[in-house]
Amino acid sequence: MPFLTAAVVLVGALGALNLVLVLGVVKRLREHSALLAVRRGAPSADLEVGTRIGEFETVTEAAEPLTRASLTEAGDLLVAFLSPGCAPCVEKLPGFVAHARSLPGGRRRVLAVVVGEPGEAAAFAAPLGPVAQVVVEEPNGALSRAFGVHSYPTLLRIGPDAEGRPVVTSNAVDLTRPTAMAV
Amino acid sequence: MTGLKCLVGVVFLLALCGKTVVRGGFGGFERSLRELRVVPRAYLRPVAVLVVAGEAGVVLALAVPGRATAVVGFGLATALLLVFTTGIARGLRRGSRTPCRCFGASTTPLGPHHLLRNLLLAVLAVLGATTTVVAAPDGHPAGALVAAAAGLVLGALAATLDELLALFQPMTPQRR
Of all residues in chain A, what percent carry a pLDDT higher than 90?
Answer: 10
User: Would the CB atoms of B27 and A139 count as touching at under 8 Å?
Assistant: no
Best residue of B14, B29, B31 to probe chain A, by most A CBs closer than 10 Å: B31
CB-CB neighbors (< 8 A) of B160 in chain A: 23, 26
Most confident of A52-56, B20-24, B45-49: B45-49
Residues of A with CB under 8 A from a CB of B: 12, 16, 19, 23, 26-27, 29-30, 33-34, 36-37, 54, 57-59, 63, 117-120, 122, 136, 138-140, 142, 145, 148
Q: Is the pLDDT of residue B100 over 90?
A: no
Q: Does B166 touch chain A (CB under 8 A)?
A: yes
DSSP secondary structure letter of residue A117: -
Find out whether A80 and A151 touch, Cβ atoms under 8 Å. no
| pLDDT above 90 for A15 | yes
Q: What is the pLDDT of residue B99?
A: 76
What's the pLDDT score for residue A46?
55
Exposure b/e, A75-102, CB count within 10 A at least 16 = b: ebbbbbbbbbbbeebeebbeebbebbee
Q: Quick check: B105 and A142 CB within 8 A?
A: no
Per-residue confidence (pLDDT) for residue A161, from 0 to 100: 76
Nearest to B2 by CA among B102, B176, B139, B94: B139
User: What is the per-residue pLDDT for A176?
Assistant: 61
Kindly indicate the confidence band of residue A11, based on its pLDDT and cuts at 50, 70 and 90: very high
Cβ contact B166–A138 (<8 Å): no
Tell me the pLDDT band of A142, cut-offs 50, 70 and 90.
confident
Q: Of A119, A122, A138, which is closest to B107 when you measure between CB atoms?
A: A138
Least confident range from A91-95, A128-132, A178-182, B37-41: namely A178-182
Note every long-range contact of B54-61, with CB atoms under 8 Å and residues 24 or more positions apart, other chains counting: B54/B79, B54/B80, B55/B12, B55/B15, B55/B16, B55/B19, B55/B80, B56/B16, B58/B8, B58/B9, B58/B12, B59/B9, B59/B12, B59/B13, B59/B16
The pLDDT of B110-129, averaged and rounded, is 92
Q: Which of A99-113, B35-49, B118-132, B148-162 has the lowest mean pLDDT?
A: A99-113
Smallest CA–CA distance, residue B24 to chain A, in Å, is 5
Mean pLDDT of B140-169: 87
Q: Tell me the pLDDT band of B175, cut-offs 50, 70 and 90.
A: very low
Nearest Cα of chain B lies from the Cα of A25 at a distance, in angstroms, of: 10
Q: Would you say B99 and B32 are in contact if contact means Cβ atoms under 8 Å apart?
A: yes
pLDDT at B56: 95
Mean pLDDT calculated for residue range A21-28:
90
Sheet bearing A133-137, strands edge to edge: A133-137, A110-115, A77-82, A154-160, A166-170
Which residue is closest to B30 within chain A, CA to CA?
Answer: A118
Q: What is the pLDDT of residues B40-92, one digit of tens each?
A: 878 888 999 999 999 999 999 999 888 899 999 999 999 999 999 999 998 88
Mean pLDDT of the region A20-42: 78
The string of pLDDT tens digits covering residues A96-130 is 888 887 777 777 788 888 888 777 777 788 878 78
* Interface membership of B79 toward A (CB under 8 Å): no
Three-class SS of residue A96? Answer: helix
- Average pLDDT on A81-92 reads 79
Q: Say if the Cβ atoms of B24 and A118 lie within 8 Å.
A: yes
On chain A, the residues whose CB falls within 8 A of the CB of B159 are none
Return the pLDDT at A70. Answer: 78
Cross-chain residue pair A37–B156, CB shorter than 8 Å: no
> Which of B105, B76, B79, B94 has its CA nearest to residue B38?
B94
If you ran DSSP here, which 8-state letter would residue A73 be given? T
Q: Is A182 a residue whose pLDDT tops 50? A: no
Query: Which residues 17-46 of chain B have a CB within 8 Å of chain A?
Result: 23-24, 27-28, 31, 34-35, 37, 41
How does residue B176 score in pLDDT terms, banded at 50, 70 and 90?
A: very low
Do B107 and A140 count as a contact with CB atoms less than 8 A apart? yes
Nearest to A142 by CA among B36, B7, B21, B159: B36
pLDDT at B96 exceeding the cut of 80? no
What is the pLDDT at residue A37? 67
Question: Are the beta carbons of B73 and B62 closer than 8 angstroms?
Answer: yes
Using an 8 Å Cβ cutoff, are A53 and A71 in contact? yes
Higher-scoring residue by pLDDT: A135, B122? B122
In this prediction, residue A174 carries a pLDDT of 66
Which member of A27, A36, A139 has the closest CB to residue B163?
A27
Question: Residue range A72-92: average pLDDT?
Answer: 78
Of the candidates B23, B97, B157, the beta carbon closest to that of A119 is on B23
- The distance of B26 to chain A (nearest Cα, Å) reads 10
Q: How far is B139 from chain A (nearest CA, A)?
A: 19
How does the average pLDDT of chain B come out, rounded? 86
Q: Which of A19, A59, A148 sits opposite B35 (nearest CB)?
A: A59
